[in-house]
Structure 1
Amino acid sequence: MKLPDSETYNSPIYADILQNLTTNQLAWIGALAMRFNQAEQELYLVFNRLVDYEPGAQQISSRINGLDGIVEIVSLGVKSLFSDKQVHTLTEQTLKHQGFSTLKSFRDGVIHARIINAQRAIGKTTGRRGKQSHILLTDEALKGVCDRLLFVLYELSALTVLIPLKRKKLRRYEGRVLNQEQREEAIQDAIARYQLHQNHRLSLPPLPELQEESLMQYIAPYRPKTPILPPGERG
Structure 2
Amino acid sequence: MVPLTLGAEWVLMAGDTKQSCPVLKSTIARSALRLYSSGGSLYGRLQAAGVMERSLVMQYRMHPVLREFPSNTFYGGRLVEDPQHMPAMDLPKLGGMVWPRPGYPVAFFDLAGRQERGSLDARVPQSWRNEEEASVALRLMLLVGSDPAVASIAILTPYTAQCSTINSLLEGEEAQTLFAQHRARGIFYASACRAYTVDGYQGQE
What TM-score does the superposition give when structure 2 sets the normalisation length?
0.19
Between Structure 1 and Structure 2, which shows a larger proportion of helix residues?
1
Greater RCO, CA 8 A, separation 6+: 1
What TM-score does the superposition give when structure 1 sets the normalisation length?
0.18
